[in-house]
Amino acid sequence: MSAGTLIEVVVGAVAHGGHCVARHEGRVVFVRHALPGERVVARLQAGGAGDRFWRADAVEVLDASPDRVTAPCALARPGGCGGCDWQHASLDAQRRLKGQIVREQLVRLGGVDVASVPGLDALVAEALPVPDRADDGLGWRTRMRFAVDAEGRAALRRHRSHDLVAVEHCPIAHAEVEETGVGVKRWGPAEAVEVVAADVPPGGAPGEVQRLVVVEPSGAGPRVNVPPLAAEASVALRTPEGLQRVRGRTWVQEHVLVDGVRRPFRVTGAGFWQVHPAAPGALTEAVLDAARPRPGERAVDLYCGVGLFTAALALRVGPQGAVLGVESDDRAAADARRNLHDLPQVSLETGRVERVLPRVAGPDGGGWDRADVVVLDPPRAGAGRDVVEAVAAMDPRVIVYVACDPASLARDVATAADLGYRLAAVRALDLFPMTGHVECVATLVAHSSGDAR
């Protein structure tokens, strides 16, 4: 078999990564643009005789699933943009499939007994509303990073490829991102263009929409001719020396309701912040609901970013409590210090979590050898054994793990189980409609304890 060969397969279960599993002559084939139960003609992307599995795209549907719908974007097709995995599935189906993926990863990689975790047997990713928009899975992404093609056009990449597809309008981009007109402008010489639409308030409440466009120059030189934008926005250049202001400012200010109070958070450049407008508030509520921090307790927020969960924990533990935030990115850590300056119970450490924890848990580290609550929101690769071991050594009554990758979560859950912590609850939130991504909030408690609440 070679790339381009057409095969007919019956599609099986969904798999982590935006595809489904099929078999052809005993060989596993991961098929994109298909749904469980369908019979399709698929085009192989590669098919060496010695490969353990093959990859393919469904190019013709012979027997369609009742969950199949017409993709709202013409580029969501084989050979098109690789940004969306599930535009051909109804939203209900997408959320069921994401729940199945989380469950399968926790069972297969995490060794979790489905019956031991309430609701895991029928887990469905929870929908989050986009202000002033029906739940259609579109118009939610408030942060977009485009590559720039040889003609200076904003573009996204094909699936598992460096090939670029020009994108004038992206249906999942928030309206305020689209308003800038970045997709119809010419950018050159530039490597990438990022667009941020900040402070899109939940529930349609009035607020100042702030837009920021960050341009990354190409190797041709630091100069970029920034075209006129269709809507007012700050503009900055990303250079090896840092962000260079072109006009406006190099940061935006987000706002999140924390315990009913609207709290500001500065985010410099296109730094990390959740891309769904309802996500920061929803995740904060989920974390607090899982952790139930109490006045006077000691809490640790690992990979704290600009301080979203740190602030929420600090408000709950109060002035008699203490919160330690740890963040490796210098720019995010600087923003966190500004965002949390009014909370004296907070202390911040800048550095890699696996290096900071052993130091602060030592005799000269401020007494952080013990904590009541630990929250961690690691990058996609997960926390890893060293961090999970250091967290367990703090003997917290509850660990709340926020994860954007269910496989990484499952591996760390298995490590935690070896160290005496069991998975007590998990929620899946559909923060990324139309894509294969799903956010999880997992609650871990000591094996000997009851419900963490």
Catalytic residues: 404
376 has which bridge partners? 302, 401
Query: Could you tell me which residues come within 8 angstroms of residue 240 by beta carbon, excluding any fewer than 6 positions away?
Result: none
Angle at 24 between CA 21 and CA 26, to 5 degrees: 95
**Integer Cα distance of 397 and 374 in angstroms:** 9
349 has which bridge partners? 326
Answer yes or no: are the C-beta atoms of 412 and 379 closer than 8 Å: no
Residue 189: asked if its preceding bond is cis (omega within 30°), the reply is yes
Answer yes or no: are the C-beta atoms of 427 and 438 closer than 8 Å: no
Maximum CA pair distance of the chain? 67
* E runs forming strands in 3-104: 6-15, 19-24, 27-32, 39-46, 53-63
Q: Taking each helix axis as running N to C, give the angle between helix 308-317 and helix 279-291, from 0 to 180 degrees, rounded to the nearest 10.
A: 40
**Integer Cα distance of 256 and 145 in angstroms:** 23
Nearest to 336 by CA among 288, 280, 265: 265
- Placement of tokens 């995010």 in the chain: 332
Residue 151 corresponds to which amino acid? E
Specify the length of the chain in residues: 453
**Integer Cα distance of 373 and 190 in angstroms:** 44
Q: Cβ of 188: how many Cβ atoms within 10 Å? A: 17
